[in-house]
Amino acid sequence: MPPFQSVWFTLHMIFGSLAYASLLISMIFSIMYLVLYRSLKLKKFDLFFERFLPLSVLGNMNYEAIVAGVVCLALMIPLGVGMVYQHFGEWIWDIKYLSVFFIFIVYLTGALIGRFAGWRGNRLALYSIFSMAVLIMTLAVSMMVSSSHKWN
């Protein structure tokens, strides 16, 4: 069966899309958090300020979006590996696979330090923005170098 017609592929794409959407939303919540935090520090209460959610809510939503992204990545990765194994009958080493696993580790670290080290607020917001920068750079490099995802 062609790989694009398998259930593996459909699930891989669904969880991949949900993962990257969650991580992007996490970065957006982080930016909103930092803007609101700065406004509060400077005591600038304008119309922009009134439309934002409270800091605690933005911080929690950031954390929850990171966790959702990590869970979806944790499902996407083995589904992709299963699809490759089903199609080729062996593991294929490619920088794309390693880069996605690296991204998973970066965000898993963020979820764990948010949970167990108590990182919320500024620290987690900055970590989320840093993680998105790592994600973009890692995927950009892997797309330039990688031969996978072409299925020749």
Which tens digit of pLDDT belongs to each residue from 39-72? 889 888 777 677 788 999 999 999 999 999 999 9
Confidence (pLDDT) at 23: 98
Domain ranges of the chain: 3-145
Rounded to an integer, what distance in angstroms lies between the CA atom of residue 124 and that of residue 102? 19
Residues 6+ apart with CB under 8 A from 46: 39
First to last CA, the chain: 14
151: pLDDT strictly greater than 60: no
Average pLDDT over residues 70-91: 87
* Tens-digit pLDDT profile for residues 1-50: 666 777 888 999 999 999 999 999 999 999 999 999 998 898 887 776 77
The dihedral sign for the CA sequence 73, 7, 90, 95? negative
Rounded to an integer, what distance in angstroms lies between the CA atom of residue 87 and that of residue 3? 6
> Is residue 33 within a helix (H) or strand (E), and if so which, with residue range?
helix 7-42
Environment class of residue 90 by beta-carbon count within 10 Å: exposed (0-12), middle (13-18) or buried (19+)? Answer: exposed
**Quick check: pTM over 0.95?**
no
Confidence (pLDDT) at 44: 81
152: pLDDT strictly greater than 60: no
150: pLDDT strictly greater than 60: no
Helices (H) and strands (E) in the chain, counts: 5, 0
